[in-house]
Structures are given as C-alpha cells and as structure tokens.
Amino acid sequence: MLKETKKSGLYWLYIGATTLVLVVLVVVYHVAENGKTPVVSSPTLDRPGSRAAPTLQFVAVFSRHGNRAPIFSYPTSEFQKDDTKVWPHGAGQLTTIGRVQMYKLGEKFRSLYNGFLSELYRPGDVVTYSTHFDRCFESAQLILAGLFPPQGFQVWNSQLLWQPIPVLYTERDHVMIVLSKETRYCSKFHKEKKKSLARYERDFGYNLTRMLEYALPFTSHDAGNTKLNTSIVSMWADTYTLWESLVNPEMEGFQLPAWASKIYPQPITSLIMETFRAGIDGSDTMLRLMAGQLFQEIMGLMEARLEDKASAAKRLYIYNGHDFTMVGLQRILGLKEFCHWVVEPSSAVIVELHTDTVTGRSYVQLLYIDGVSKDLEPVELDIPGCDSPCDFHQLINITNKYYNITDWEKECENY
C-alpha cells in the first residue's frame, strides 16, 4: 500500500512539474506590461562571457525563486494571501515580476558563462534541480529559458524562442525541517533548534515582544486585543508571518499601512535576520542536517569533474530553492560577517571550480548575485579560513564537518 502511495505521489509530482512548462511558455511568449514589469530582452551570444576563463572547469548555481505571493498573512492584512485580486497566481506562487526576475537571471548566467557553456543546450553538460514547490520549479524553468534560447535545429516554433529542458526534483534541501513544528521530520534538528530558540529568546525576546505587542492591535481580528502569546515558538512564528505580510506586498509595489512604518523595514528586518539565524544556524549540527547533503553533492560533483569521472553535470549544476537554502550554504562556506541573512528573491550563490593551466592547482571562487541589484553583477566573496581564491583541498578540510552524511534519517534520529 505504501509503495502504491509513493508511486501515485511521484506520478502526480511528475504531472505537476510537466504542466509548469506551460507557465514558462506564457512568460517567454508574452510578458504583460503593467508599469512595474521589467522588459524581457534576448541574451547576447556573440561574445565570450565575462566569467568564461580558460581555467574554469565547473559551475554550481544556487538561486532563490523570484517574487512570490505571501504564504502567511495576518488576519487584517489588505493583501491576504488567498485574495486573487491582489495575487492572481495564488498564495505562495510566483508573481509576474517574479517570473521576469528569474528569466533575466538566466540571461545573466548566459552573459557570464557564454563560451564556457555552449549556445546549444546539451543534456550531458547541465543538470537542474528544484525543491517540490511550484515557485521553485517555475523559477528553474525560467532560468533555463533565459539561459538556453533555442538555436538552429532547436527552434521548433519561430514565434516562440523557447525549448523544453528538464528540471529534476530533489529532497537534498531539507528546508522543511526549519519551519515545521513536527519533530518527526528530523528529531535531532528540532532538539538543537529548541536550544537555539532559548538563546534567541534570551537575547531578543524583549525586542520581539515590544514589536509584536505594538503590531497586535493592527493585525488581529479583534482591534482591542493586546494579549500576546509570549512563548518563544509562537513569537518566532508570529514574526515570520508579520514579515511575510509586509515584505511581499512591498516588493510588488503596494503601499503598506501607515502603522507599519514604525516596524518596517526596521526593526523587523534585523529581527528576522536573527529569526533565520536561530532557525538555521543555531549549531553545526543544524547546518549539517539542513544543508549538508546538498553541499555534499556539490563537493562530489567537483571532485568527479577534477578526476574526469562521469557525473550528473559536467559543466553546470543549477539548484533552485529558498532563502533558507541560501543562508545554510553561505554558513557552511564560513560566511558570517558577509552572510546575506535576508536573501532577496532571484538572488544566487555561485561556486566556480577552476584549475590553473600552468600549475594544475584547483581552486574555488565564490560569488553572490543580489536579486534586487540593477545589473545583477556578481560580487566575489572570500571564504573565511581559506586562501583567496580558495584551494579546493583546503575547502574540503574546512567544510567536511558539515557533510560525509551516509544515512540522513539515522543522523536525524528518526526511529
């Protein structure tokens, strides 16, 4: 019975992922001009990419999905998550702006790596993964649409410069254990998270309480309600809901209520950074259980590339996920002072593997694209505790405590 259920689930997941292709078709074919939507242009294929150096061996891209509708909204919000007049694509789904963001990110990757990547999509060179959320599948499809417009024999419709490219599903991003209150997902993670939230309450409980007590009369169905649930788990969740209800409408250009100006963008942005830190980076164990398997896969692919072994992606690996994904990877790489704790939609972490053509030394270069930057130009980042650029074997030494996971379920103590 369990096997039949799993097969059925995979079947419908496959059907759902396939239908998302239609979304990309619509975006590439026609982008509505509503005054807020950027213009979609065609990538330049007639010159080498700015990052396509002779030393480049392999590129791994981790991106967050584009602008989306809220997943949560406080009871009195003018922009309720399920209000289709405000969010026509639905709660948690990519907005039109979000779709254009991801298409343009794909175009940016083309301008960075043209020449290293063939103009033609070749299955052996590229593999693309997504979490199981619609917005991530769609974002991955849109990146590919901007990165690989069909050329020559690949053009099957002269009025539609798009081609189907597969996006695979993976669970290596264990992002669900961060937000879920159900310990069955990873018991050990939640034990560590409980300790982390206790420290979070000690350091930020007073500021959280003040902010949430201020917001409560404006956000509750009962305007006279001033009684706040002050358990740290409840305040952690309430802060995230309040943030969700403000940041997503603001990114879409909606005017927030006047009362919100006293807490947004500050102090809630600083507090949400600490909320993310407490829920993801409370200990090395938390980082290992959330993002370790995903990072382990990338390290394995880079080792395989250097050893010239057959691998899932010989040149480019794309993974589209969430803000938690991006924070976890940054922290595994040792970023703290320069960590982007609040990851903007359509941002990307890029890991480049290079080999010096003279010395044969292999090294890694880390880059970050801020999704709200005007030109999406990547910024080079140094990896703490490592030379710049970082020697590949040195990177193994400083990060291996976060991976080499042979049985994730066992490490989670999911008995």
pLDDT tens for 97-116 read 999 999 999 999 999 999 99
Radius of gyration of the chain (CA): 22
Give me the residue label for tokens 């709200």: 372
Please tell me the predicted confidence (pLDDT) of residue 26.
45
User: For the chain, how far is it from start to end, CA to CA, in angstroms?
Assistant: 21
Q: Which helix (H) or strand (E) holds 56?
A: strand 56-64
> pLDDT tier at 335 (50, 70, 90 boundaries)?
very high
pLDDT tens for 365-376 read 999 999 999 999
Determine the Cα–Cα distance for residues 59 and 229; give it in Å rounded to an integer.
46
In the predicted structure, residue 8 carries a pLDDT above the cut 60 = no
Task: Find the mean pLDDT for residues 334-345.
Answer: 94
- Ramachandran sector of residue 253 (left: φ over 0; alpha: ψ -120 to 50; beta: rest): left
Chain-centroid distance, C-alpha 19: 22
Q: Which amino acid type is present at position 268?
A: I
Please tell me the predicted confidence (pLDDT) of residue 14.
47
Question: Which neighbouring-strand residues pair with 114?
Answer: 117
Task: Find the mean pLDDT for residues 223-245.
Answer: 86
Residue with more model confidence, 53 or 5? 53
Residue 265 is encoded by which pair of tokens?
């963008």
Determine the Cα–Cα distance for residues 282 and 277; give it in Å rounded to an integer.
7
Q: Specify whether the CB–CB gap between 143 and 63 falls below 8 A.
A: yes
Determine the Cα–Cα distance for residues 74 and 84; give it in Å rounded to an integer.
16
Q: What is the pTM of this model?
A: 0.88
For 389, which DSSP code?
S
Residue 313 is encoded by which pair of tokens?
């992606």
In the predicted structure, residue 24 carries a pLDDT above the cut 90 = no
Helix 284-306 with 268-280: angle, nearest 10 deg? 70
- Ramachandran sector of residue 376 (left: φ over 0; alpha: ψ -120 to 50; beta: rest): left
Question: Which neighbouring-strand residues pair with 363?
Answer: 354, 391
How many Å is the maximal CA-CA distance in the chain?
Answer: 72
Vertex 232, ends 228 and 236: CA angle to 5°? Answer: 90
Determine the Cα–Cα distance for residues 11 and 137; give it in Å rounded to an integer.
16
3-state secondary structure (DSSP) of residue 182: coil
The 10 Å Cβ neighbour count of residue 72 is 17
Determine the Cα–Cα distance for residues 91 and 72; give it in Å rounded to an integer.
8
Rounding to the nearest 10 degrees, give the CA dihedral for residues 149, 153, 154, 159. Answer: 70
Task: Find the mean pLDDT for residues 41-59.
Answer: 85
Encode 298-343 in three state secondary structure: HHHHHHHHHCCCCCCCCCEEEEEECHHHHHHHHHHCCCCCCCCCCC
Average pLDDT, the chain: 89
Determine the Cα–Cα distance for residues 182 and 188; give it in Å rounded to an integer.
12
If you count them, how many residues does the chain have? Answer: 415
Vertex 249, ends 246 and 255: CA angle to 5°? Answer: 90
pLDDT tens for 182-199 read 777 899 999 999 999 999
Q: Which residues, other chains included, contact 326 with Cβ-Cβ below 8 Å and sequence gap of 6+?
A: 62, 63, 64, 340, 343, 347, 349
CATH T-level assignment (fold) for domain 2-73+88-177+285-408: Rossmann fold (3.40.50)
- Of 387, 353, 410, 281, nearest in space to 58 by CA: 353
pLDDT tens for 78-93 read 999 999 999 999 999 9
Domain ranges of the chain: 2-73+88-177+285-408, 181-280
- Of 354, 301, 296, nearest in space to 328 by CA: 296
